[in-house]
C-alpha cells in the first residue's frame, strides 16, 4: 500500500474510535487495536515486496552408466568445506549464495595426476549442473556440464545422495 492509502485507512478507523470515546469506551485501547488492524491489512494486502532470492542451486551428479569406476566412490569438496563422496548413479544438491564457488577433487593416481579445482558461478534462482564422470581410457571429467538441459535430464535419472562422508 502507498503511504497515502495507509493514512486514509487510519483516518477511517479513527472516526469510529472517537465516537467510542464519546460513548465512554476506552479510546486508547480502541486506537491501538485500530492501528494494529491497519498494519495487518497493509502487510496482508499482497503489495509487500518479497526479498529477492539470493541463492542458487548446484547439483553435482555422477551418472551410473558404464563399468568405468562403477565400484568406486569419488570425492569432492565445495568451497574448501567437507569432503563429499559421490556414488555412481547419484547426485548431491547444494543451495549456495550467488557468486563464484570452487569445487575440488583430490589427487587420485588411478585417474589423474593432480588435484583439480573448478569454478562455478551461481546465479540467484538458477540451477547449475556439474558432472563427475569417468571416461574409459581418458580419465575423469569434472566440470560444469556443457549442455545444461541434457545434464538436468541425466541427473533426474539419478538418486539423491545426502550428507558428507569424511
Q: What is the set of domains in the chain, with CATH numbers? A: 3-44 (no CATH), 55-160 (2.60.40)
H-type helices in the chain, by residue range? Answer: 3-22, 27-44, 148-156
Provide the pLDDT for residue 82.
92
What are the φ and ψ backbone dihedral angles of 78, each rounded to 5 degrees? Answer: -115, 125
**Tens of pLDDT, residue by residue, the chain (166 residues):** 454 554 455 555 556 555 655 555 565 665 565 555 545 555 555 554 555 679 999 999 998 755 555 566 778 899 999 999 888 899 999 999 999 999 988 755 455 544 578 899 999 999 999 998 776 666 667 888 999 999 999 999 999 998 754 4
SS3 content of the chain, % helix, strand, coil (to 5): 30, 35, 40
Provide the pLDDT for residue 20.
54
What gap in Å lies between CA 65 and CA 59, rounded to an integer? Answer: 18
What gap in Å lies between CA 35 and CA 15, rounded to an integer? Answer: 12
Q: Are 74 and 105 in contact (CB under 8 A)?
A: yes
Can you read off the three cell numbers belonging to residue 85? Answer: 563422496
The CA angle 138-164-75, to the nearest 5 degrees, is: 15
Say which DSSP state 72 is in.
-
What gap in Å lies between CA 63 and CA 78, rounded to an integer? Answer: 19
Provide the pLDDT for residue 13.
54
Provide the pLDDT for residue 36.
53
Provide the pLDDT for residue 163.
74
Amino acid at each position: 500500500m502507498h503511504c497515502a492509502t495507509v493514512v486514509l485507512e487510519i483516518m477511517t478507523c479513527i472516526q469510529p474510535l472517537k465516537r467510542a470515546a464519546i460513548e465512554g469506551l476506552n479510546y486508547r485501547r480502541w486506537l491501538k487495536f485500530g492501528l494494529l488492524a491497519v498494519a495487518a491489512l497493509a502487510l496482508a494486502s499482497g503489495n509487500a515486496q518479497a526479498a529477492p532470492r539470493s541463492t542458487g542451486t548446484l547439483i553435482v551428479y555422477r551418472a551410473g552408466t558404464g563399468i568405468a569406476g562403477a565400484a568406486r566412490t569419488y570425492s569432492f569438496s565445495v568451497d574448501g568445506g567437507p569432503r563429499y563422496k559421490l556414488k555412481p548413479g547419484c547426485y548431491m544438491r547444494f543451495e549456495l549464495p550467488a557468486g563464484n564457488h570452487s569445487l575440488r577433487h583430490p589427487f587420485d593416481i588411478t585417474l589423474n595426476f593432480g588435484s583439480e579445482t573448478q569454478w562455478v558461478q551461481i546465479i540467484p534462482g538458477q540451477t547449475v549442473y556439474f558432472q563427475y564422470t569417468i571416461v574409459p581410457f581418458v580419465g575423469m571429467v569434472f566440470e560444469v556440464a556443457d549442455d545444461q538441459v541434457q545434464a538436468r535430464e541425466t541427473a533426474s535419472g539419478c538418486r539423491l545422495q545426502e550428507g558428507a562422508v569424511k
